[in-house]
Amino acid sequence: MWNRKIQVPILAVGMSAVLALGACTSDASADATTDAATVPGYPVQTYYSTEGAVTGIAGLDSASAPEIIRSQPNFAAPQVSQVWRTGAVELAGHEWRDADGPDATYWAEVRLDGVQGWMPSNHLYYFGGTGNVTGDYADIAPADDPYKILATIGWRATDNGGRWAVVTTPADTGDGLYRVDITGMPDDAQAGERLRVALGYSDGNYRVASVDQTLLCARGVTGGLCL
């Protein structure tokens, strides 16, 4: 399966050059990068080093949200902010890998509402174009529980690989929609999709009314399409 975390270590330039890079941005960015030098790991570059780019959060259900922003790229570092499970952050220009081996975590330096810190980048995506895909799910049988329909949508959407999670319900947002995030798709451009599902209700059963899709991209977006 394709791994969207293609790392490019920047060890060759040395830590002094990394700190100098931070000094070229805002003072807060420089401070955050300096702090990163005190924790285990090393700087890397994947797809989340473009300062000023905006990425959204996807793949978090209510049990695993919110995403915590920390003062350093380490799970032991203090929390400085948090991101709602359908929120977005601005990239601050640096990334970090906190360890080698199977438990290694990639971190992205981010800004949110004037606060700068670090968060794991495995739930960050560039959001692409949208479209109506109701026809792909219109044949799902009615059910007395909306989650039976959402589960069928999730399993169908991940038939070729990936994971699914119900990230919001109408009770969370008040817009009448369920959001089902599909992440970890085995593709070198499209990493997933967000499905916004509207359900109708009659005669004691729920039915698929409409499903809209937003592309989740790992490397970026151009013209609404994943790079």
Does 177 reside within a domain? yes
pLDDT at residue 186, rounded to an integer: 86
State whether 24 and 70 are in the same domain. yes
User: Angle at Cα 111 formed by Cα 82 and Cα 122, nearest 5°?
Assistant: 65
Does 93 reside within a domain? yes
Q: Which domain holds residue 16?
A: 11-126
Cβ contact 94:35 at 8 Å: no
The 10 Å CB-count burial string (b at 16+, else e) for 146-174 is beebbebbbeebbeeebebbbbbeeebee
User: What DSSP state is assigned to residue 47?
Assistant: S
pLDDT at residue 11, rounded to an integer: 31
State whether 137 and 48 are in the same domain. no
pLDDT at residue 27, rounded to an integer: 40
pLDDT at residue 216, rounded to an integer: 97
Positions in the chain short of pLDDT 50: 1-32, 34
Fill in the amino acid letter for 72. Answer: Q
pLDDT at residue 35, rounded to an integer: 53
Cβ contact 80:118 at 8 Å: no
Cβ contact 211:197 at 8 Å: yes
pLDDT at residue 6, rounded to an integer: 43
pTM of the predicted model as reported, rounded to 2 decimal places: 0.81
What domain count does the chain have?
2
Cβ contact 109:39 at 8 Å: no
Does 209 reside within a domain? yes
List, in order, residues 6 or more apart from 106 with CB less than 8 Å away: 5, 7, 44, 46, 95, 96, 97, 120, 121, 122
Does 154 reside within a domain? yes
Each residue's pLDDT tens digit, 115-142: 999 999 999 999 999 999 999 999 999 9
The residue out of 126, 149, 166 marking a domain boundary is 126
138 in the Ramachandran plot: left (φ > 0), alpha (ψ -120 to 50) or beta? Answer: alpha
E strands in the chain:
42-44, 54-57, 67-70, 79-83, 88-97, 106-112, 115-120, 124-132, 163-168, 178-183, 190-202, 205-217, 221-222, 225-226
State whether 47 and 109 are in the same domain. yes
Does 73 reside within a domain? yes
The residue out of 95, 126, 157 marking a domain boundary is 126
In angstroms, the CA 64 to CA 47 distance is: 23
pLDDT at residue 36, rounded to an integer: 53
State how beta strands 190-202 and 79-83 pair: unpaired
State whether 110 and 204 are in the same domain. no
